Amino acid sequence: MENLRRPRDKWRDIIFCSVAVFVVIADQITKALIRASVLPGEVFYDVGYFRIIHVENTGASFSLFQGHSLVIVIVSIIGLLVILSLVFFFRSRWSFLQSNWVIVALALVTGGAIGNNLIDRLRQGTVTDYLDFKVWPAFNVADMCLTVGIIILVYRLIFYSGLTKDKK
């Protein structure tokens, strides 16, 4: 019975790694483009309710916890270790973790945490944000992926937490 699950587990690993790597690459490329073409504080594009602006953020997602970079890095590393252990070591124990939606959600959170909280903070001490709807602090691709991943996880926990056999 265990051998029948192995190929599917490998595909889940490939999906997880591919999505996480894609998020990191997309996040780093967009931030590099903003840093190369827009000075900090300068607006690149503005349509009234939305603008692209170069903001250097010392806080976490959506400018929360400003000035606590070391704590954010430590929490991110611990969170990443927990996610990686869930994905690679504990998924056979909890059927919830075998869902493709959960794997994608965890990959989005992982890619966002690596792109935002580790690479940027360790390399330059701040995170580059650039998407601004003017009613919420500026954010970036990694913030979006973290948020979407967490929304998917919460939805799956509430509505599909092992109550059905649905693995989709």
At residue 74, the pLDDT reads 86
Domain residue spans of the chain: 2-159
Q: Give the tens place of pLDDT for each residue, 105-151.
A: 999 999 998 987 789 888 888 889 999 998 988 999 999 999 999 99
9 is catalytic: no
- Could you tell me the pTM of the whole model? 0.82
At residue 11, the pLDDT reads 86
Q: Which amino acid, one-letter code, is at 61?
A: S
How many beta carbons lie within 10 A of that of residue 40, not counting itself?
12
Average pLDDT over residues 147-166: 80
- Per-residue pLDDT band at 1 (split at 50, 70, 90): very low
Residue 115 makes CB contacts below 8 A (sequence gap 6+) with: 23, 24, 27, 28, 141, 142, 145
Q: How many residues does the chain have?
A: 168
Catalytic residue among 27, 120, 129, 132: 129
Residue 126 CA to residue 15 CA, distance in Å, equals: 29
Phi, psi of 54 (to 5 degrees): -90, 115
Using the predicted structure, report yes or no on whether residue 49 has a pLDDT greater than 70. Answer: yes
Radius of gyration over every alpha carbon of the chain, rounded to an integer in angstroms: 18
- Per-residue pLDDT band at 8 (split at 50, 70, 90): low
Burial class (CB in 10 A: 0-12, 13-18, 19+), 64: exposed
At residue 94, the pLDDT reads 76
At residue 78, the pLDDT reads 92
- The residue behind tokens 């903001």 is 55
129 is catalytic: yes
Q: Give the tens place of pLDDT for each residue, 13-30.
A: 899 999 999 999 999 999
Residue 156 makes CB contacts below 8 A (sequence gap 6+) with: 96, 99, 101, 102, 105
Catalytic residue among 27, 120, 132, 143: 143
Higher-confidence residue: 11 or 50? 50
Cα dihedral angle (67, 70, 71, 76), rounded to 10 degrees?
A: 120
Average pLDDT over residues 83-99: 81
43 contacts 50 by C-beta, under 8 angstroms:
no
Across the chain, mean pLDDT equals 84
Using the predicted structure, report yes or no on whether residue 37 has a pLDDT greater than 50. Answer: yes
